[in-house]
Amino acid sequence: MQRLLRGIGLLLLGVGLMANPLYLPIGITEVDETYLHTVHEADATTPEYDPSVAYTDLSAAAQEAFDRARNAEAGYGVDDSGERLRGFSYPTPTDAGPEASLTVVTHEGTDYEFWTRTAEREGSLLLLQRGLVQPGLFLGGLFALVGGAIQAGGITLSKPRVNR
């Protein structure tokens, strides 16, 4: 009976450990935000937009950000919220309507999509938790399940002794 109870306990422990993605990751650190700027030439896939803004109507800081994002292959980001452009929205991925961050800028006769948005980066402790802790708990749960099945089922892993 004791062996059966140990086996059931190990089975329950194994299921609990293997289910760790349901209760982990625990937010250990604050979310680290970065503010992204990207520029692409407008085309048929450009969402509906209000009339475009002339490049010369942008503030000096917005012109600098536009030029920097247009010249960078994947845009660029700033980490300090004080470096965001005034008058531009920086929605997070959970905000409704990604078009809220779109400004169409006309520069030298070409329309460009100027996107501004907030991206969240995960801290190093959270990455460590996902990369080491969760897989370790899952493997521990797997071993507990196997041990529980052996205990509850009365299976022995040693050779039976033969009396002669």
Is residue 139 located within the same domain as residue 64? no
**Is 162 within the bounds of a domain?**
no
164 domain residue, yes or no: no
- Check: CB of residue 144 under 8 Å from CB of residue 16: no
Asked, for residue 95, whether it belongs to a domain, the answer is: yes
Assigned domain for 136 exists:
yes
One domain, residues 39 and 109: yes
Domain assignment of residue 7, given as a range: 2-27+124-153
Model-level pTM? 0.55
What digits encode the pLDDT tens for the residues 46-92? 887 777 899 999 999 999 999 999 998 888 888 888 888 888 887 87
20 & 71 share domain? no
Q: Are 66 and 55 in contact (CB under 8 A)?
A: yes
